[in-house]
């Protein structure tokens, strides 16, 4: 199971259902990395898309027993999400903050975009515990053309 997320230096991942920054090429990278994979997400994350993302299953973890949406497979527990994904090479977890918290015990890898700003936001993901995760890759990019400095970081669970 791999987490895919962009997080500001202060832990913010969103505000009012939107991402508070734009980084050229990040959405393409996300698409390339998640294409063909079952994605686990919360209801608010699913509802933030204009339409289901092509080429990927949308497994939506929700507390609402009667929630339903076209293109979504509703589940009600982390275990049910894992079972619904089936036996695949990778399950992509794409947010939001509560879903990351619930799925953290099952994660093996984190593909993190560190955004080097401190925006206001209402969705926050704390740092991943250093003793539990090893940084295995990093690419740093400077601020330019109105976008903040950022880093693509891969973390793998310490064994």
Q: So what's the architecture of 2-157 in CATH? A: 3-Layer(aba) Sandwich (3.40)
pTM for this predicted structure: 0.95
Read off the pLDDT of each residue in 49-62 and give the average, rounded to a whole number: 96
> How far is Cα of residue 139 from the mean position of the Cα atoms in its chain?
18
> Given pLDDT bands bounded at 50, 70 and 90, which one contains residue 67?
very high
**Domain segments of the chain as ranges:** 2-157
Q: If residue 97 lies in a helix (H) or strand (E), which one and from where to where? A: helix 97-103
pLDDT digits (tens, 9 = 90+) for 12-34: 999 988 899 999 999 999 999 99
- Share above pLDDT 70 across residues of the chain, in percent, rounded to a whole number: 100
A 10 A CB-CB count for 4 gives 19
For the chain, the average pLDDT equals 95
For position 37, what pLDDT does the model report? Answer: 97
């Amino acid at each position: 199971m791999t987490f895919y997320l962009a997080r500001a230096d202060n832990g913010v991942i969103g505000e009012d259902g939107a991402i508070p920054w734009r980084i050229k090429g990040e959405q393409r990278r996300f698409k390339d990395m998640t294409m063909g994979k079952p994605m686990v997400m919360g209801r608010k994350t699913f509802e933030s898309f204009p339409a289901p993302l092509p080429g990927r299953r949308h497994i939506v973890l929700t507390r609402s027993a009667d929630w339903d949406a076209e293109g979504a497979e509703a589940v009600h527990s982390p275990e049910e999400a894992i079972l619904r994904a089936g036996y695949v090479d990778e399950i992509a977890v794409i947010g939001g903050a509560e879903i990351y918290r619930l799925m953290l015990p099952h994660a093996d890898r984190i593909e993190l975009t560190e955004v080097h700003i401190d925006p206001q936001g209402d969705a926050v993901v704390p740092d991943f515990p250093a003793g539990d995760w090893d940084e295995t890759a990093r690419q740093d990019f400077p601020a330019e053309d109105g976008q903040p400095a950022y880093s693509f970081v891969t973390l793998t669970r310490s064994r």
